[in-house]
Chain A
Amino acid sequence: MGFSLKGVGLTHANGFRALRDVDLRVACGERVALVGASGAGKTTLLRVLAAALRPDTGRLSLLGTDPWDASPATLRRLRARIGLVHQAPPIPPRQRVVTAVLAGRLGQWPLWKSLASLLYPLDPEGARHQLARLDLGERLYERCDRLSGGQLQRVALARVLYQQPDLFLADEPVSAMDPALSELTVALLNEEASRRGVTLVASLHAVDLALRHFPRVIGVKEGQVLFDLPAGQVREAQLRELYAAEGSVPMAGLAVLPDAGQPAAAAPPPLRCA
């Protein structure tokens, strides 16, 4: 009960073809990293997986349901089971951290509870618990515009952790964090997904992070799947092709020795072709 895509294509409103003929099958509990250059279509793919963008071709099944065949009520319940950490956290600057985190459960709470929680936070302990895992427990009652970019990103993560989705999607969840924090945060996401047995898909800019933490890595290029391999089988040449236009393979660059038995992780130093 993960998800599957068959021949999925998506054309944006301005006529740009962001996805073409994507075939993917991800089983329940798998942890997958999406890598690819800027503009490759990672965000678009994640939004399709979040039932937020409707593909114009192909078949899509999320958690056993075709979202675009379902009734509005079913679709809403399905969406409540999918959590997407957005690339740019869409959190109002004046909202307090506790409210932003508790908003993760709006899809599960009855309306009266959502509204009451605005007047007096109903589960501050739940919010604080998730924030504390990201080292932000102290900022519970702070306003979001008083946080740094990386801290705001962690609030967005805490929201989806608090949502406890069955399909955990993260769009560059560590792009505003330093290498050490990125490492910890990606590890935390993987640990959470394993512990709860849910499917995790995260797009990452740093290829080494993806190779170190995720069992399966998918390379996206120009709206297509270039490779879909276990992390250990990703070769340097494939990464070089993935980032051919950039001229180098992006890395988080943290000097952490990868585990033995993950050859590709040790392999590619920054490639400078230009």
Chain B
Amino acid sequence: MSAVPRDPAALPRLGWTLAALVLLWPLLRLADFEPVRLLDEGNLRAMGHFIRGFLPMETSHDFMALLGKAMVETLAMATAGIALSLLLAVPLGLAMTRGLSVSRIGPGRRAWIGTLVRALVRALLAVLRGVPELVWALLFVRVFGLGASAGVLALGITYGGMLGKVYGEILESTDGRTARGLLEAGSGRVAALFYGLLPHAGGELVSYTVYRWECAVRASVVMGFVGAGGLGQLMDQSMKMLNGGEAASILLTFLLLVLAADGLSEFLRRRLA
């Protein structure tokens, strides 16, 4: 009777775990990460003071009207930004998906073209999302002036890069056998996508997109600080005037928006399941 051979993957697994730990430690040190300082008495008092300034919340009629208008503007900016980013992300994400590559099944002759295209698309997506949306916004504010259009464009570009990358990776990691079977039966790529990949990956794609929309709502705030309009601009003004009550109302609005996004995502997932 021979002994069971050892798991050949065990040693590499141990090695990678150790390497990750060894890398993590200096990174935490570099980032000055000392959670104990949160509990320091002086720091606690300072934080408490900061938070007390937020109460009571501002609920005056005028401000609520302003808030409502800013909220609609923010929602519009986030939604338009995501719509714009989809125009970039869908074709680029699909181009990256190896599971839809006919040349991978054969004929192998022109496979290098596909490989080259995928590498170029990957690089393009990295450039799009590598520049933070804030920087794009600063750039576009100079072109379009203060207002939402700079924010929409900035969101569209950065989020197009993020969505494209993640779409490609989600499609890549889903079960490709269905799509491959269809391609092997002479189906085109787009038909194979709709009949073979989306039934597996649809839910995940939708929930990631809704999550990104939620992020876009938050990001449009940061961009408001540079004059791109919406809740962010309002927040900027309130903070500059040291009006904590107004800031608190704005924050609560955010919370509601995030909850709404969560509910929408849950609803869509349930519909698709």
Of residues 61 through 119 on chain A, the ones whose CB sits less than 8 Å from some CB of chain B are: 67-68, 70, 72, 75-84, 86, 88, 90-92, 94-95, 99, 103-104, 106-109, 111, 114-115, 118
Partner of B195, one of A51, A77, A99: A99
Interface of B is mostly: helix
User: A86-B181, A106-B188, A111-B188 known; A75 and B107 CB under 8 Å?
Assistant: yes
Is there contact, CB below 8 Å, between A115 and B194? Answer: yes
Closest-CB distance, B105 to chain A (whole angstroms): 6
Is B192 close to A, CB under 8 A? yes
Is there contact, CB below 8 Å, between A106 and B182? Answer: yes
Instruction: Tell me the number of A-to-B contacts counted with CB atoms below 8 Å.
Output: 87
Taking CB as reference atom, which chain B residue is nearest A69? B107
Q: List B contacts of A88 (CB < 8 A).
A: 177
Is there contact, CB below 8 Å, between B178 and A106? Answer: no
Of residues 192 through 224 on chain B, the ones whose CB sits less than 8 Å from some CB of chain A are: 192, 194-196, 199-200
Closest-CB distance, A152 to chain B (whole angstroms): 13
User: A91-B178, A95-B199, A114-B195 known; A79 and B184 CB under 8 Å?
Assistant: yes
Is there contact, CB below 8 Å, between B107 and A111? Answer: no
Partner of A80, one of B177, B186, B190, B199: B186
Taking CB as reference atom, which chain A residue is nearest B181? A90
Taking CB as reference atom, which chain A residue is nearest B177? A90
Determine the distance from Cα of A118 to Cα of B199 in the docked complex, in whole angstroms.
11
User: A54-B108, A75-B107, A107-B185 known; A92 and B196 CB under 8 Å?
Assistant: yes
Of residues 43 through 71 on chain A, the ones whose CB sits less than 8 Å from some CB of chain B are: 50-52, 54, 67-68, 70
Q: How many residues in B have their beta carbons less than 8 Å from beta carbons of A? A: 29
Taking CB as reference atom, which chain A residue is nearest B187? A106
Determine the distance from Cα of A118 to Cα of B196 in the docked complex, in whole angstroms.
12
A interface, size bucket:
35 or more
1/0 per residue, CB under 8 A from A, across B104-117: the answer is: 01111010000000
Is A163 close to B, CB under 8 A? yes
Is B165 close to A, CB under 8 A? no
Q: List B contacts of A81 (CB < 8 A).
A: 186
Determine the distance from Cα of A115 to Cα of B272 in the docked complex, in whole angstroms.
18
Q: List B contacts of A114 (CB < 8 A).
A: 187-188, 190-191, 194-195
Task: Report 14 cross-chain contacts, Cβ distance below 8 Å, ordered by A residue.
Answer: A50-B184, A52-B184, A68-B106, A72-B102, A75-B107, A80-B185, A84-B181, A92-B175, A94-B273, A95-B199, A106-B192, A114-B187, A114-B190, A115-B190
